[in-house]
Amino acid sequence: MLDGAALVANWQAFATCGAAEAGAAIKADGYGLGARDVLLRLAAAGCQTFYVAHWQEVPPLLPLPAGVTLSVLHGVTPDEMEAALALPAVPVLISAAQVALWRQTGRPCEAMVDTGMNRLGLAPETAADVLAGMDVAVLHSHLACTEDATHPMNAAQRVCFADVAARVPAHRYALANSAGAALGAAFHFDLIRPGIGLYGGGLLPDGRPAHTVARMVARVLQVRDVPVGASVGYGATFVAARPSRIATVALGYADGYARGLSNAGWALADGVRCPAAGRISMDLAAFDVTEAAGVAEGDWLEIPFDPEAMAQASGRTSYELLVALGQRFERLWQ
């Protein structure tokens, strides 16, 4: 179950955190939630600028609503040129070779400059020469260390990007992801590119936790009484310390309910927190519903998907948990 109002509220927090426009990163199928639905909902709320990573992600998003632009963060390779020319999206060019390739089309582009992450992008020293004569709609860079607001790399990258922006003509400049937006207006330039914050991970620029967008709802297949000393699940890692009622639920790591949540996750039944009992397996998870007496076979259990709380419990990141949401879940928007 997906909360469209929470998604929009998260985006609005980015859109109003400063003077910069807020776009949206919707790569990896909208961080697992469904890129097409995310795009339509955010476009209806006023978002006009969307980012995916691959050209293969573009066709399922078509037709684009009026006024919306879509850009491809990995740029374009020779074998992708045909698709790129046929599709209504713009490459974010990441190398001099890509710029040379795209130059032949005479079309506008976006471009990425590397300001210290050493992952993708043009070298700051040569970017002006490489891009000379190109119509650059947006010049980007990307921050490496925004999870730590005090990391010296943040300021160093900002200074480097401001210097590049002063030398490389573009219609607009963009540096910040979700956590980068919280570093303050000096990091915003013209356009920010939030991703995780839209989907309920991390903090909004004003310091509040992002609104949780997703919750899992899964069916109770069986309820059983387990005596003291009996175990539950693979490896017998849960042993009942009291006479327990255990609900076995149709939810597993194939659905994105991470194995790291074994004996660490929780479900909610009538508001009662029911801890995961034993290992999460591929298709099944067990929850201790002793305190929620009403749970019966055939019931639907709610598993809140607060990405940061689950990240902490599972040892994975909120990003990994979201993009792993399984295809067996019907994505129902409310």
Ligand X SMILES: *Cc1c(COP(=O)(O)O)cnc(C)c1O
- Count H helices and E strands in the chain, helices first: 10, 17
- Residues forming a β-bridge with 247: 223, 287
Cα–Cα distance for residue pair 134/74, rounded to 1 Å: 18
Among residues 100, 105, 102, 110, which one has the least CA distance to residue 168? Answer: 110
**Which position has the token pair 């397996």?**
281
Nearest CB to ligand X, comparing residues 194 and 260: 194
Considering the complex, what minimum distance in angstroms separates the CB of residue 187 from ligand X? 12
Q: What is the footprint of ligand X within residues 177-206 (CB under 6 A)?
A: 177-179, 193-197
Considering the complex, what minimum distance in angstroms separates the CB of residue 186 from ligand X? 18
Residue nearest to ligand X (CB): 195
Cα–Cα distance for residue pair 146/194, rounded to 1 Å: 12
Cα–Cα distance for residue pair 89/59, rounded to 1 Å: 10
Nearest CB to ligand X, comparing residues 179 and 311: 179
Q: What is the footprint of ligand X within residues 100-159 (CB under 6 A)?
A: 142
Q: Is 49 in the site for ligand X (CB under 6 A)?
A: no
Cα–Cα distance for residue pair 302/215, rounded to 1 Å: 7
Known catalytic residue at 234: yes
Residue span binding ligand X (CB under 6 A) among the ranges 1-9, 36-44, 171-179, 225-233: 171-179
H-state helical runs in the chain: 4-15, 27-31, 35-45, 81-86, 96-103, 127-130, 152-167, 178-181, 307-314, 318-323
Among residues 59, 56, 130, which one has the least CA distance to residue 93? Answer: 130
Taking CB under 6 A as the rule, which mask of x and - marks residues 63-102 in contact with ligand X? Answer: ----------x-----------------------------
Torsion of CA 95, 81, 23, 159, to 10 degrees: 10
Considering the complex, what minimum distance in angstroms separates the CB of residue 71 from ligand X? 10
Q: Tell me the number of residues near ligand X by CB under 6 A.
A: 12
Active-site position among 27, 51, 253, 257: 27
Among residues 115, 131, 111, which one has the least CA distance to residue 123? Answer: 115
Active-site position among 173, 199, 234, 257: 234
Considering the complex, what minimum distance in angstroms separates the CB of residue 219 from ligand X? 31
Q: What is the footprint of ligand X within residues 258-297 (CB under 6 A)?
A: none
Known catalytic residue at 27: yes
Considering the complex, what minimum distance in angstroms separates the CB of residue 193 from ligand X? 4
Q: Is 47 in the site for ligand X (CB under 6 A)?
A: no
User: Under DSSP, is residue 330 helix (H, G, I), strand (E, B) or coil?
Assistant: coil
Residue span binding ligand X (CB under 6 A) among the ranges 5-13, 175-183, 213-221, 326-334: 175-183
Q: Is 17 in the site for ligand X (CB under 6 A)?
A: no
Among residues 311, 318, 310, 260, which one has the least CA distance to residue 285? Answer: 260
Active-site annotation, residues: 27, 234
Q: Which residues bind ligand X (CB under 6 A)?
A: 25, 27, 73, 142, 177-179, 193-197
